[in-house]
Structure 1
Amino acid sequence: MIVTDTHTHLYSEAFDEDRKEVIQKAIDKGVERFFIPAIDSTYTESMLQLEKTFPENVFLMTGLHPTHVKENFKEELRHVKEQLVARKYVAVGEIGIDLYWDTSFLVEQQIAFKEQIQLAKKYKLPIVIHCRDAFNEVFEVLESEKGEDLFGVFHCFTGTLEQAKKAISYNMRLGIGGVVTFKNGKIDTFLNQINLSHIVLETDAPYLAPVPYRGKRNESLYILNVLEKVSLIYGVAQEEVAKQTTLNSKEVFGV
């Protein structure tokens, strides 16, 4: 059984003490594919180092995270463009809009999101969307960019059934992580109304650890708890969920 973690920040400082052990532990349990979203240019070097250490298992994205869209965002976007020219990436992400922490850069976030979608289209790559307190704003940008060449993952999906269907209508897979195990997570109440072909599994490590690790540092290994919960929701074997969601990840990312 091969399990794919489509969203994990394994280069994060949270893993500085035991990064190799954390990754090896996950690999030993069948979590063999790690998709690594970018945040900003300050992490590029550590991401490349991670890929060098685990070349068979680690797949990198490039992009500017919406919470890191600040006064220097044009400079950061230049870095993303340079990276896409310099080497192969599997996606542009994570990109999007976040109005939870700060609303003062909304316009810049919208510009950065749109520009990075256009970059993804240029390189025929998927996008990985970050959306927090911003469904309407994200959908507005997606609507303006919709088409055959727009596809990807709606990371850490926490919306309603209606919003799930809307995201899928833009050729997005839904990234399902630790939230599905939370008592107040809500998505577990309707997820089985979404065909399994539309979802991928993720951890967002070191954030959003699933029950029973909630509140602790998340790890890619804990995707097995997400897998278990999803298999219960759909009423199918864990092996079947792992197989289908890994297949879905291959369709999105091309690897």
Structure 2
Amino acid sequence: MIDTHAHIYASEFDQDREQVVARALQQGIERILLPNIDVASIQPMLATEAAYPDICRSMMGLHPCYVDQDIKQTLSEIESWFDKHHFIAVGEIGIDLYWDKTFQQEQEYAFVTQLNWAKERDLPVVIHTRDSIEQTLQLLKNEQDGSLRGVFHCFGGSVAEAKAINDLGFHLGLGGVSTFKNGGMDKVIPHLDMNYVILETDCPYLTPTPHRGKRNEPAYTQLIAQRVADLRQLTLQQIDTLTTNNAVTLFNL
């Protein structure tokens, strides 16, 4: 099983990262993919990847919540890393209008710029979208030349939105929200195209039931897989095989 989106390099894991990785392995989570968020997260992310080279793989990108007026300088610094290290994806990128719309134009500029990095380097993208699905889909449509591929991580939308995402050739990352009692995903997951589904935790955030309120971690990928299996009336093993194959193909692992 693969946790396709985990921030285990974050300070929340500094005290027990070794144990966190061990628990993941015990639960059959054999690979953990690390999305970058800003300039400050690069070194801890690369150090975590170096500590667990058979398990962790890193991505490079600028998260929309870290976009500000210095966007061109920041993007230049982030892009320079592609010449220094092999990354499996451009991410985590996107548009987030939930907290603040001050830098919406800068966010859109950063998103399109990073989509073009992905096209130039033939890499998948990992997309963060919050209160911005229409804007994100429109920008993606404008840029899609047949080579763009990737995942809308932390998907919590409707069946129609899932189809629009799949029609653009993109996957859906299912995480802790899938297990929430009032998350609404019980009405959506039965109708998803399973060829486009991968699993993720987004740890330390969005902890699945029954651990809500506590720190999330990669071992809980199995809880998400079980929830998807129950809603699809499939076995855990079937969901594991399907989602792992999808992730291996998408990220060229």
What's the TM-score bracket when you normalise by the shorter of the two chains?
over 0.9
SS in 2 for 1:39: coil
Aligned length: 253
Asked whether 1:198 is paired with 2:175, we answer no
Asked whether 1:138 is paired with 2:141, we answer no
Q: How far did 1:195 drift? A: 2.1
* 1:202 partner letter: E
Residue of structure 1 equivalent to 2:252: 254
Asked whether 1:123 is paired with 2:127, we answer no
Residue of structure 2 equivalent to 1:163: 161
Q: How far did 1:80 drift? A: 2.0
Residue of structure 2 equivalent to 1:103: 101
Q: How far did 1:95 drift? A: 0.3
Asked whether 1:176 is paired with 2:165, we answer no
CA distance in 2 between partners of 1:76 and 1:234 (Å): 43
CA RMSD of aligned residues (A): 0.8
Residue of structure 1 equivalent to 2:146: 148
Residue of structure 2 equivalent to 1:13: 11
C-alpha offsets along residues 153-208 of structure 1, whole Å, 9 cap, x if unaligned? 11001111100000111111100000011111112212121121110000000000
SS in 1 for 2:54: coil
* 1:210 partner letter: P
Where do 1:215-226 residues align within 5 Å?
A: 215-226=213-224
Residue of structure 1 equivalent to 2:86: 88
Deviates more, 1:204-213 or 1:77-86: 77-86
CA distance in 2 between partners of 1:80 and 1:241 (Å): 35
CA distance in 2 between partners of 1:80 and 1:254 (Å): 22
CA distance in 1 between partners of 2:190 and 2:81 (Å): 38
For the structure 1 residues 89 and 17, does the alpha-carbon distance in structure 2 shift closer, same or farther, using more than 3 Å as the test? same
The runs of at least 4 consecutive aligned structure 1 residues that moved more than 2 Å come to none
* 1:76 partner letter: T
Residue of structure 1 equivalent to 2:61: 63
* 2:192 partner letter: I
SS in 2 for 1:206: coil
Residue of structure 1 equivalent to 2:238: 240
Q: How far did 1:29 drift? A: 1.9
TM-score (norm 2): 0.98
SS in 2 for 1:41: coil
TM-score (norm 1): 0.97
